[in-house]
Chain A
Amino acid sequence: AQKVTQAQTEISVVEKEDVTLDCVYETRDTTYYLFWYKQPPSGELVFLIRRNSFDEQNEISGRYSWNFQKSTSSFNFTITASQVVDSAVYFCALSEAGAAGNKLTFGGGTRVLVKP
Chain B
Amino acid sequence: KAGVTQTPRYLIKTRGQQVTLSCSPISGHRSVSWYQQTPGQGLQFLFEYFSETQRNKGNFPGRFSGRQFSNSRSEMNVSTLELGDSALYLCASSLGSGGYQPQHFGDGTRLAIL
Query: A residues engaging B (CB < 8 A)?
Result: 32-33, 35, 37, 42-47, 50, 52, 91, 95-97, 99-109
How many interface residues does chain B have, given as a range?
20 to 34
**Cross-chain contact A101 with B56 (CB below 8 angstroms):** yes
The A-contacting residues of B in range 19-41, CB under 8 angstroms, are 31, 33, 35
Bound: A18/B49 CA distance, A: 39
B64 at the interface (CB under 8 A from A): no
Bound: A95/B98 CA distance, A: 9
**Cross-chain contact B90 with A45 (CB below 8 angstroms):** yes
Q: Which of A35, A46, A99, A103 has the most CB of B within 10 A?
A: A103
* Contacting residues, chain B, for A103 (C-beta < 8 A): 33, 45, 48, 56, 58, 99
**Cross-chain contact A47 with B103 (CB below 8 angstroms):** yes
Contact of A102 among B44, B103, B107 (CB under 8 A): B103
Bound: A109/B58 CA distance, A: 19
Known contacts A102-B50, A103-B56; 14 further A-B pairs (Cβ under 8 A): A33-B99, A35-B102, A43-B107, A47-B102, A47-B105, A50-B102, A97-B99, A100-B56, A102-B97, A102-B101, A103-B58, A104-B43, A108-B42, A109-B42
